[in-house]
Structure 1
């Protein structure tokens, strides 16, 4: 029915112009007065005004890097790019702790790789870029446009572009967890098809929107990331609902803000990666749980990183007194190369699990990511033989369907390697995800990344499972800040691939350590205080835990300073980068 999200927005603005499309909690607090709301009519006007401004500057078909902080102005700018047939390139704005070298590097990479002609941002972001101009010579060749300076009445000159299903809507840069980030070319046809996949998979129907009074989503996920953009923003528009948004920084500072927003606005759907549920569990005091009402939360999406059966069970048990139902847990699987969602659900059914095999999940179970979405085909392939593996056997996850994107921007080689794979039985057009998994009873279980897999003495080990074991081995190890990988011939054996773990240690977590040195650490706030005795205890606990759980003798344990393990902009561990830093001697080592 709709060609693009431009048509969707126009339709929604006509149907219910005064309905709130998005509200943004400026401070992350549900009961704070500093809340920005934008109606469908106003959002339509803003997107047309920005689209007209881009048209007038001859930027139709050009790439526009979006560097807005979290908020409704980013959404208006993104939709304005679609309205102008300008290719949007969402990026991480230079703010907070990434203001310096890391921000400069990311912005330069986006501008260069996308061959961008314009930066769209807010005035404070543009001022920050100007302050870094000596490190950003690209700014001399590119237009910087503050979108809030564009008046609404500029939309009077807007004219619809001739968009087709094959027109590129935006470039979604991958997280770069196993390779350099690549710009995925997402077309308008891909976007519209995946909206159907999302809506069917999460039970989003017009009837549900009305039953919930329009309250469809609450989200703190980054808007420049595919999960934070395509679900709570675009799927909300597609259904004509209301999304409540706030900054991921505010969530990380105080995870209970997510739960209180859910209790206050009572949406149908909300979610995040597995670590977000763990953070909520960490802060789940009886007083907090007793003050929540989560009874209307029907889809608690868990995606974007490995799923933990233990996390799901503990979350359901902990928040059951607040009305949360285990059937709301909704593990899913997706990737930018397939626009977003590949599998998930079913809605209302407790997630299925499967016993893990030899050398597999630390908690003994794999979690189902649900059946493939409508119109999508998932096969588990033996990539070398190009044959389909039998049910229950692990292989590479291949995906086909209209949600599969066109490839990587200006990267023909990578596009050939990843897109358009074929099986010997004649089926073709598959996307090679690089993920490992298996199918059982029509549902997908994802077991890990092929490039990250550790093969030690002929046995496969998934790094996320070693990392979970290390996280729980000693209270000084920071959760979500461990990288496991293998290196050639390191350690006492001197032959073959040997396992290495790199782990951040936090001084504040060492209070339960048994040695006297741990007290010195707690007193000084310095993880290196207390010397080799305390560090040796942490290392010994890590080695013992990995040996018991996985039957592995670690070649090296590297303990590093907080906040220094390599991660992507969306928070995923960059194991290859950690390995390179280890081999290059550039880790911020506390001890090994």
Structure 2
């Protein structure tokens, strides 16, 4: 029987704190998590965190938190993926302080992003390890915060502790999106949401105390936080972690750990599977053992049939089974997973008429058809309701229509922090007279009982599992490249067949002195610096031809459609006469 059945998250929120305290008392030497550090040893140095140590350290940090922050106050967690982050997060739950998981401060440009989120929710404290204390103190905040260093808090197992008895509807943590935004929106994840996500994962992903995971996802991302921290602690199975950087530098490390630790579950964005195939040559795959994997979750960005097929072909000799592939659909506003392909069942791969999909209709065609678009289904709802809704009417869409994906369940979050006007348009929508629906902003349809995600009506750019708001990228270009006309920059993503790529359209000022090659380099540098994403294509349009509404609003979807069709009116240079309509500049110029 799963441990979650012993921890009833209803009425009062025992949840993760109760589970950690119970195991610390009954089996303090049980390993909760293992962290493998590759920074000093190429083979990695493992560091175990037991429940006894975790509980003692959490109470020590929680006591310090209580001295500097009241219950319900917000505390930013600015720790790298590792022990300190887990201690800080659970300490917030122990103390009744709302955790705000953010990336560890590394540079001034990242500090600006951190400051936006911390100011948005009014953080009173920051949890950060001693080596980065000065960096945290230098973050430009509207109001100073108290810094709590988890590596300075001396644990005392005998110290008395009275846990904060939070209501299940109270906010446990704020999940800010993984991309950058100048108007950050922190999703209010309640204790009830955490409990629901855990129950759903037990039922839909076959997680129990006998499961084991190995993960490299960052803890400040909802995928890394829920899959890598909340679920292992709530359910009681072991988790092994490595940093994202350790994975990127040598993907084989992850796969080797999966075998060495007899992992049953893993979850990462689609690009992670491709990276393993591309970066691990055939001769280095010998000795890898993926035979125990029953769940190879793929989410956080569009799932590609080519990625699944390549990974299966490359690692079948290592014991990997195609049925382990488990595409999922989820979003932070729904805490974690919304739909998933059933475990041990190969994901549905179907080909649909591309032109019909563009028109909002679903028509399946033969595989290999030149007019087809191959898609991977993301399975059925996991303990919640999912509907496809006509965007124009707000009514349920027809069975062969593309519409907006709406979700309802106890995992749907409480809204955005201090953004009531944004919450009103997303949360608690009404469908057929029933309230409580989440409007995801994503487009999709159901075919053969599986959800297929067809696009993003809210125009988010998702690259390498990270969300980027187009308006932020556009503003960066306008601010960093003065030669660009204000209000005449559009950013969007396109599917090149193997991954999502960022494209920027812009009009230039008449007095622009730089040439197109120099301007493209300037735009690429600015976007890379502020958003950590490479610009695949920069296209300069003839002045006055940027697609807009009659009120002057940029039409990103129309821009993307014209780009795909080669129907843009492109300037011959940054400030010169127009060339024949079409698409240009797909080469990569040095930055």
> What interval of TM-score do these two structures reach, taking the shorter chain for normalisation?
0.7 to 0.9
Residue matched to 1:345: 341
Q: For 2:523 and 2:507, locate their aligned partners in 1 and report how far apart those are by CA, in whole Å.
A: 23
Residue matched to 2:262: 266
Distance of aligned partners of 1:441 and 1:502 in 2 relative to their CA distance in 1, 3 Å threshold: farther
Residue matched to 1:160: 163
Residue matched to 2:140: 136
Deviation at 1:6, TM superposition (A): 1.1
> What RMSD in Å do the two structures reach over aligned CA positions?
3.4
Distance of aligned partners of 1:377 and 1:502 in 2 relative to their CA distance in 1, 3 Å threshold: farther
**Aligned residues of 2:264 and 2:295 also touching (Cα < 8 A):** yes
Residue matched to 2:374: 365
Residue matched to 2:455: 448
Q: For 1:88 and 1:202, locate their aligned partners in 2 and report how far apart those are by CA, in whole Å.
A: 26
Q: For 1:356 and 1:558, locate their aligned partners in 2 and report how far apart those are by CA, in whole Å.
A: 37
> SS of the residue aligned with 1:403?
coil
Q: Does 1:416 align with 2:416?
A: no
Alignment of 1:291-330 (within 5 A): 291-330=287-326
Distance of aligned partners of 1:328 and 1:80 in 2 relative to their CA distance in 1, 3 Å threshold: same
Q: For 2:201 and 2:388, locate their aligned partners in 1 and report how far apart those are by CA, in whole Å.
A: 22
Deviation at 1:27, TM superposition (A): 0.9
Q: For 1:294 and 1:557, locate their aligned partners in 2 and report how far apart those are by CA, in whole Å.
A: 52
Q: 2:73 aligns with which of 59, 62, 79?
A: 62
> SS of the residue aligned with 1:38?
strand
**Aligned residues of 1:438 and 1:446 also touching (Cα < 8 A):** yes
Q: For 2:277 and 2:40, locate their aligned partners in 1 and report how far apart those are by CA, in whole Å.
A: 19
Encode CA deviations 1:176-205: one digit per residue, 9 max, x unaligned.
478843101111011011111112121113
Q: For 1:85 and 1:155, locate their aligned partners in 2 and report how far apart those are by CA, in whole Å.
A: 21
Distance of aligned partners of 1:363 and 1:326 in 2 relative to their CA distance in 1, 3 Å threshold: farther
> SS of the residue aligned with 2:194?
helix
Residue matched to 1:116: 123
Distance of aligned partners of 1:556 and 1:339 in 2 relative to their CA distance in 1, 3 Å threshold: farther
Q: Please give the TM-score of this superposition, normalised by the length of structure 2.
A: 0.75
Residue matched to 2:173: 170
Alignment of 1:440-589 (within 5 A): 440-452=447-459, 466-469=494-497, 482-484=501-503, 551-553=565-567
> SS of the residue aligned with 2:495?
helix
Residue matched to 2:87: 76
Q: 2:197 aligns with which of 180, 187, 194?
A: 194
Encode CA deviations 1:18-46: one digit per residue, 9 max, x unaligned.
22111111117998362211011211222
Distance of aligned partners of 1:313 and 1:71 in 2 relative to their CA distance in 1, 3 Å threshold: same
Distance of aligned partners of 1:190 and 1:556 in 2 relative to their CA distance in 1, 3 Å threshold: farther
Distance of aligned partners of 1:128 and 1:29 in 2 relative to their CA distance in 1, 3 Å threshold: closer
Q: For 2:352 and 2:280, locate their aligned partners in 1 and report how far apart those are by CA, in whole Å.
A: 29
Deviation at 1:73, TM superposition (A): 1.1
Residue matched to 2:233: 237
Q: Which runs of 5+ in 2 are unaligned?
A: 1-7, 359-370, 462-490, 509-519, 526-559, 574-586
**Aligned residues of 1:308 and 1:363 also touching (Cα < 8 A):** no
Distance of aligned partners of 1:32 and 1:363 in 2 relative to their CA distance in 1, 3 Å threshold: farther
Q: For 1:29 and 1:199, locate their aligned partners in 2 and report how far apart those are by CA, in whole Å.
A: 36
Q: Which runs of 5+ in 1 are unaligned?
A: 210-215, 455-461, 473-478, 490-500, 507-545, 560-587
Residue matched to 2:102: 91
Q: For 2:140 and 2:572, locate their aligned partners in 1 and report how far apart those are by CA, in whole Å.
A: 35
> SS of the residue aligned with 2:61?
helix
Distance of aligned partners of 1:350 and 1:504 in 2 relative to their CA distance in 1, 3 Å threshold: farther
Q: 1:44 aligns with which of 39, 49, 55?
A: 55
Distance of aligned partners of 1:195 and 1:90 in 2 relative to their CA distance in 1, 3 Å threshold: same
**Aligned residues of 2:521 and 2:590 also touching (Cα < 8 A):** no
Distance of aligned partners of 1:116 and 1:463 in 2 relative to their CA distance in 1, 3 Å threshold: closer
Distance of aligned partners of 1:160 and 1:178 in 2 relative to their CA distance in 1, 3 Å threshold: closer
Q: Please give the TM-score of this superposition, normalised by the length of structure 1.
A: 0.75
Q: Indicate the larger mover: 295-304 or 33-42.
A: 33-42
Q: For 2:436 and 2:408, locate their aligned partners in 1 and report how far apart those are by CA, in whole Å.
A: 6
Q: Does 1:125 align with 2:125?
A: no
Deviation at 1:428, TM superposition (A): 2.1
Q: For 1:270 and 1:329, locate their aligned partners in 2 and report how far apart those are by CA, in whole Å.
A: 10
**Aligned residues of 1:52 and 1:154 also touching (Cα < 8 A):** no
- The size of the alignment, in residue pairs, is 481
Q: For 1:253 and 1:363, locate their aligned partners in 2 and report how far apart those are by CA, in whole Å.
A: 36
Distance of aligned partners of 1:154 and 1:195 in 2 relative to their CA distance in 1, 3 Å threshold: same
Q: Does 1:429 align with 2:457?
A: no
Q: 2:446 aligns with which of 424, 439, 446?
A: 439
**Aligned residues of 1:217 and 1:243 also touching (Cα < 8 A):** yes
Residue matched to 1:529: none
Encode CA deviations 1:521-554: one digit per residue, 9 max, x unaligned.
xxxxxxxxxxxxxxxxxxxxxxxxx99x965456
